[in-house]
């Protein structure tokens, strides 16, 4: 074999070696590229999931805050409307006590209170009612209430251990939750 052939053979081996090196480098490049692409996609996916999760949390927080604010405003409005309605109802009661129907109710309430207390009990009524009650029921101990109330009767046993309250305000207070519910239904529609 001549020098030329040896040189040709060396060049051919070099070319083959270079092709193998380039082929191997190309494979490593594509493997690294594929791995990098997968890592980038994973980072992108994780970031997207994290951002979506944080956005969902933020949205939930904002929705809950908005609901709480709306409920607070609704309750404030309802409380105002209910207070107005309650005041109107008290005004109606004040007008009612000037009517004959009230006198009938007052005596029914006194009778009810009398049944729950002993005969020597004290019955408290509004100042304006003292005279009409004493005229009709002279045996009862009737006193004008120190703390003015619209109407009705309060009673106390002689020893003060037994107390009844059939004042119109107390009757209204007992029915307040039902009244509030009905008024609320009327306001809400």
For residues 33 and 114, state if they share a domain.
Answer: no
At residue 56, the pLDDT reads 83
The answer to whether position 80 is within a domain reads: no
The answer to whether position 42 is within a domain reads: yes
- Whether residue 2 is predicted with pLDDT greater than 80 in this model: the reply is no
Global pTM reads 0.55
Residue 54: pLDDT band (50, 70, 90) is confident
Which residue is it, tokens 């590229």? Answer: 33
Cβ–Cβ under 8 Å, residues 165 and 147: no
The answer to whether position 85 is within a domain reads: no
Residues 112-154 have pLDDT tens digits of 999 999 878 999 999 999 999 999 998 889 989 887 788 999 9
The answer to whether position 181 is within a domain reads: yes
For the chain, the domain total comes to 2
Residues 7-39 have pLDDT tens digits of 778 788 888 888 888 888 888 888 888 888 888
> Rounded to whole angstroms, how far apart are CA atoms 76 and 95?
29
For 170, phi then psi, to 5°, come to -65, -40
Residues 65-118 have pLDDT tens digits of 888 888 888 878 877 877 787 788 778 888 888 889 999 999 999 999 999 998
Residue 63 structural domain: 1-69
For residues 38 and 119, state if they share a domain.
Answer: no
């Amino acid at each position: 074999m001549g020098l030329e052939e040896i040189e040709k053979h060396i060049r051919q081996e070099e070319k083959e070696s270079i092709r193998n090196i380039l082929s191997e480098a190309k494979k490593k490049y594509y493997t690294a590229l594929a791995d990098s692409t997968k890592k980038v996609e994973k980072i992108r996916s994780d970031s997207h999931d994290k951002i979506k999760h944080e956005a969902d949390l933020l949205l939930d927080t904002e929705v809950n805050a908005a609901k709480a604010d709306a409920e607070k405003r609704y309750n404030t409005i309802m409380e105002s409307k209910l207070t107005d309605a309650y005041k109107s109802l008290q005004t109606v009661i004040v007008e009612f006590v000037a009517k004959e129907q009230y006198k009938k109710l007052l005596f029914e309430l006194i009778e009810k209170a009398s049944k729950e207390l002993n005969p020597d009990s004290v019955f408290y009524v509004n100042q304006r009612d003292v005279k009409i009650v004493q005229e009709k029921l002279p045996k009862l101990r009737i006193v004008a209430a120190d703390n003015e109330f619209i109407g009705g009767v309060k009673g106390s046993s002689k020893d003060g251990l037994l107390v009844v309250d059939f004042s119109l305000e107390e009757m209204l207070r007992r029915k307040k939750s039902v009244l509030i519910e009905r008024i609320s239904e009327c306001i809400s529609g």
